[in-house]
Structure 1
């Protein structure tokens, strides 16, 4: 079984770029754009435990800022357990990570991220990850 411990450089760069755009949107008080970049960071980072937990932590803090109890609770659960699925390559591929979507629901990968996530197992049913 393959463990997802080290994030490849191309994914790390894209993940960090989305977080940079998230911070810029926050600085401009554009919460909807900031959230979009967190969701995109989640789609990229969910394959690796540290980045996966990191984006859920940021979503948790965002929920606190917005006084959104549903998001706070949902992110607490995701922070607590999501890293396990990442470690063992069993994640809901394409999931945006928001508490408004089911935890285990796979979702389509955005077109502009498909080449970056070329190794995602898009044909699997349910939880998947990178092809072995």
Structure 2
């Protein structure tokens, strides 16, 4: 992972963890979606995004999110280096196979 992309991924994760700590799970999940977009082509960052989404699913008692994230964690370990649906935000509110538009501010990080 190039340094600029790694720093952006880490910044999104830091935002997510800060919101998680104060119980603002909606804001935390938003930043996890952004970190997922940035890290989905790399096994460890991809899996880390899903792990934190799973934690939010547990905190919010969302069975759908918990089950979906468990499946996505396994898939992130197996498939990150082979194929990912570019731009997918990683939550259970979207198909795990659906490519999605990349937010403008993240696009330049991924183009490098």
TM-score normalised according to structure 1 size: 0.80
Kindly report which structure 2 residues correspond to 1:4-23, keeping only aligned pairs within 5 A, or say none.
7-23=1-17
**Richer in helix (by share):** 2
- Larger of the two Rg values belongs to structure: 1
CA RMSD of aligned residues (A): 1.1
Give the gaps of 5 or more residues in structure 1: 1-6, 120-132
SS of residue paired to 2:23:
coil
In the other structure, the counterpart of 2:86 is: 93
In the other structure, the counterpart of 1:118 is: 111
Report how many aligned residue pairs link the two structures.
Answer: 112
1:93–1:106 CA contact under 8 A, matched in 2 = yes
**Structure 1 stretches of 4+ moved >6 Å:** none
User: C-alpha offsets along residues 24-83 of structure 1, whole Å, 9 cap, x if unaligned?
Assistant: 222333221111000000000101011111111111111001100000000000001123
Kindly report which structure 2 residues correspond to 1:5-44, keeping only aligned pairs within 5 A, or say none.
7-44=1-38
TM-score normalised according to structure 2 size: 0.94
